[in-house]
Amino acid sequence: MRLICSMVTPVKNIIFDLGGVLINLNYQLTRKAFEDLGVEDFDAFYTQHKVNPLFENLEVGAIEPEAFYEALREATGLTLSNDQLETAWNAMLLDFPIERLLWLDQIKNKYNIYLFSNTNAIHYNAFTAIYAQTAPLIGLHPDFNHFFKEAHYSHTLGQRKPEVAAFEAVLAKSGLDPTQTLFIDDTISNIEGAQKAGLQTIFLSGGLTVQDVGL
> What one-character-per-residue DSSP string does 67-110 give?
HHHHHHHHHHT----HHHHHHHHHTTB----HHHHHHHHHHTTT
One-letter identity of residue 8: V
* pTM listed for this prediction: 0.92
Q: Rounded to an integer, what distance in angstroms lies between the CA atom of residue 140 and that of residue 23?
A: 16
pLDDT in tens, the chain (215 residues): 344 555 557 899 999 999 999 999 999 999 999 999 999 888 877 765 666 888 899 999 999 999 999 999 998 899 999 999 999 999 999 999 999 999 999 999 999 999 999 999 999 999 999 999 999 999 999 999 999 999 999 999 999 999 999 999 999 999 999 999 999 999 999 999 999 999 999 999 988 899 998 88
